[in-house]
């Protein structure tokens, strides 16, 4: 069957950036499983999987806007070191604000730190190599739970 709304799709993938650096991969893990059409994966990949079938392999190139979003300059901020309550601040450290946003310290300059609250893959064009293993209808239980049961999903 072809991938359409409410299909359960299992696939293996390798995610690279434009330079070919591997950012993520399901290699060595269970195949990834999701319910199609529910926004469980980045929109650009979901679009390109539509209509595919088990056994298909594809390279899906996803622009940042349909991936993890463009870089939001408002989420690049210079924060005075005085705001950290005397704590040592170094590049690579991460802080979480009450809105659950994770900020990474990009660099520390005289008197202030440069923080980035964007998703680490914001602004990145994503290159997914995908091997589709299985396509089936989601069960009623899966649709009501909003996740896949069995291979690549929840076991309960």
Site residues (vs Zn ion, CB under 5 A): 145, 154
Q: Which is nearer to Zn ion, 32 or 103 (CB)?
A: 32
Count the neighbouring beta carbons within 10 Å of the beta carbon of residue 121: 17
Q: Which is nearer to Zn ion, 136 or 145 (CB)?
A: 145
**What are 47's two structure tokens?**
């679009």
At its nearest, how many Å lie between Zn ion and the CB of residue 134? 18
At its nearest, how many Å lie between Zn ion and the CB of residue 141? 6
**What are 134's two structure tokens?**
């299985």
Beta bridge partner(s), residue 22: 16
At its nearest, how many Å lie between Zn ion and the CB of residue 139? 10
Choose among 75, 110, 78, 105: nearest CA to 90: 105
With CB atoms as reference, the residue minimizing the distance to Zn ion is 145
At its nearest, how many Å lie between Zn ion and the CB of residue 123? 34
Q: Which is nearer to Zn ion, 66 or 147 (CB)?
A: 147
Q: Which is nearer to Zn ion, 5 or 154 (CB)?
A: 154
Q: Which is nearer to Zn ion, 23 or 143 (CB)?
A: 143
At its nearest, how many Å lie between Zn ion and the CB of residue 2? 25
- 22-25 and 7-16 beta bridge pairing: antiparallel
């Amino acid at each position: 069957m072809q991938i359409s709304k409410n299909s359960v799709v299992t696939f293996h993938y390798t995610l690279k950036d434009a330079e070919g650096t591997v950012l993520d991969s399901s290699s060595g893990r269970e195949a990834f499983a999701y319910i199609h059409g529910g926004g469980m994966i980045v929109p650009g990949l979901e679009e390109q999987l539509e209509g595919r079938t088990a056994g298909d392999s594809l390279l899906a190139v996803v622009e940042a806007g349909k991936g993890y979003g463009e870089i939001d300059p408002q989420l690049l901020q210079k924060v005075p070191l005085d705001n950290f309550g005397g704590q040592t601040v170094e590049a690579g450290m991460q802080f979480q604000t009450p809105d659950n946003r994770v900020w990474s310290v990009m660099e520390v300059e005289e008197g202030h730190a440069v923080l980035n609250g964007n998703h680490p893959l914001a602004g990145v064009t994503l290159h997914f190599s995908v091997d589709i293993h299985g396509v089936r209808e989601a069960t009623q239980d899966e649709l009501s739970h909003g996740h896949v049961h069995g291979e690549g999903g929840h076991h309960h």
